[in-house]
Structure 1
Amino acid sequence: MSLTIPIILGTVREGRQGLRAARFMMRRLTEAGHAAPLVDPAELQLPLLQRMYKEYPAGAAPEPLERLAQLYRRADAFVVVSAEYNHSIPPALSNTLDHFLEEYFWRPSGIVCYSAGRYGGVRAAMQLRAMLGELGTPSIPSLLPIPEIGKALDQEGHASDARLDQSATRFIAELVWYAEALRRQRAEGTPY
């Protein structure tokens, strides 16, 4: 079953390494037969959150928010790609996520975290896990950490080590399992 799984990139920094991880996941999901559009905060240029998408009158939200709302409503799951900034998530990621709420409901998320160092961004992933649950897109149990991202992935997102590809295969299988299960349940109705 083909799914729509947006890849939400979390950084706008110059020379951002997260594009490597996002491209890696986009390619792996596409190869598995799924749609994996990139949600890039650098391209979206969202303002700092002053009001959520749902707080705009119908049809009055800025165009990037309307476009994201349409994509998120079609989504079956989300992959969130996060760096670790000061043991936390990047501010651009929080800003991108916080513009929406109901659009995330009843859809699982998977966390791909990375860092230049050996921990692969897992400290940020723990905070992100709590945030995603609160947004209504709980993360699957597995993470896909990418330590030393500059060595692990090239500019186009190709892995230098087969172990990362193997980990991604398991991670995607788990995310797809949750996405298909929740898709069936959404079709039958949600609690509210």
Structure 2
Amino acid sequence: MSYRILVFYGSYRSDRMGIRLADFLVSRLRERGAEVELIDAKAVDLPMLDRMYKEYPRGQAPDALERLAGQIRDADGFVFVTGEYNWGIQPGLKNLTDHFLEEWFWRPAAIASYSAGRFSGARAATAWHGILSEMGMVVISSTIAVGQISGALTAEGAPVGPGGKALTDAYPRFVDDLLWWIEAAKAQRQRKPPPY
């Protein structure tokens, strides 16, 4: 069975390294048979949050919001690829997610973090766990964390060196966990409507 998974990436920087991890995950998820789409916050380029999608009268939301709301509603699960800025989360990715709420409900999410340094974006991943849970997603316990990303993945997203090996070793548990929860959540939504 094929599942629809959205991979979200949030850096707006001109020399973005995390896109390597996003590309790696898209490629590997497709190898597992998933229908995957990369949602790049910079490419979507939503304005700073003024009105959430749900606050627009039906049919009057900007096209980018309407399109993305449909993609989120149609997805079976999500992967959030996040860098760490000054011990915190990337503002571009947070701004994108905050435009929506009910669209996220009752689906699993996974977090993959990265950084240029050795801490691998772990503090941002920890922050995202609570944010995504508050937004109605079930956040899986398995995570991926890539430190010194420029030496762990090539520009094309291919693993290299010890960091790439660590990523390759961590990936099977991460994807198995995510797909298990996607299958469970999808079966439950088909069996019984969500309570709200």
Give the AA of the match of 1:85.
Y
Query: Does residue 175 of structure 2 align to residue 172 of structure 1?
Result: yes
Q: Contact 1:117 / 1:147 at 8 angstroms: preserved in 2?
A: yes
Give the AA of the match of 2:95.
N
Aligned-residue Cα RMSD (Å) equals 0.9
**Could you say which residue in structure 2 is the equivalent of 1:150?**
150
Deviations 1:69-128 (A, max 9, x none): 111111111000000001010110110110001111000100000001111100111111
Give the AA of the match of 1:137.
M
Q: Contact 1:129 / 1:138 at 8 angstroms: preserved in 2?
A: no
What stretches of structure 1 of length at least 5 have no aligned partner? none
Counterparts of 1:113 and 1:138 in 2: how far apart (Å)? 17
Q: How many residues align?
A: 192
**Could you say which residue in structure 2 is the equivalent of 1:186?**
189
Counterparts of 2:114 and 2:166 in 1: how far apart (Å)? 15
**Could you say which residue in structure 2 is the equivalent of 1:104?**
104
Counterparts of 2:17 and 2:166 in 1: how far apart (Å)? 19
**Could you say which residue in structure 2 is the equivalent of 1:68?**
68
Counterparts of 2:21 and 2:101 in 1: how far apart (Å)? 25
Runs of 4+ in structure 1 over 2 Å off: none
Deviations 1:10-45 (A, max 9, x none): 111111111101100000000100011011111111
Give the AA of the match of 2:47.
P
Q: Aligned-pair distance for 1:162? A: 3.0
Q: Aligned-pair distance for 1:155? A: 0.8
**Could you say which residue in structure 1 is the equivalent of 2:52?**
52
Q: Contact 2:6 / 2:77 at 8 angstroms: preserved in 1?
A: yes
**Could you say which residue in structure 2 is the equivalent of 1:127?**
127
Q: Aligned-pair distance for 1:59? A: 1.2
Q: Aligned-pair distance for 1:142? A: 1.2
Q: Contact 2:8 / 2:81 at 8 angstroms: preserved in 1?
A: yes
**Could you say which residue in structure 1 is the equivalent of 2:5?**
5
**Could you say which residue in structure 2 is the equivalent of 1:34?**
34
Counterparts of 1:166 and 1:190 in 2: how far apart (Å)? 35
TM-score, reference length from structure 2: 0.96
Deviations 1:145-178 (A, max 9, x none): 0111001111111111333112112101100000
Counterparts of 2:98 and 2:112 in 1: how far apart (Å)? 18
What stretches of structure 2 of length at least 5 have no aligned partner? none
Q: Contact 2:104 / 2:137 at 8 angstroms: preserved in 1?
A: yes
SS in 2 for 1:110: strand
Q: Contact 1:4 / 1:77 at 8 angstroms: preserved in 2?
A: yes
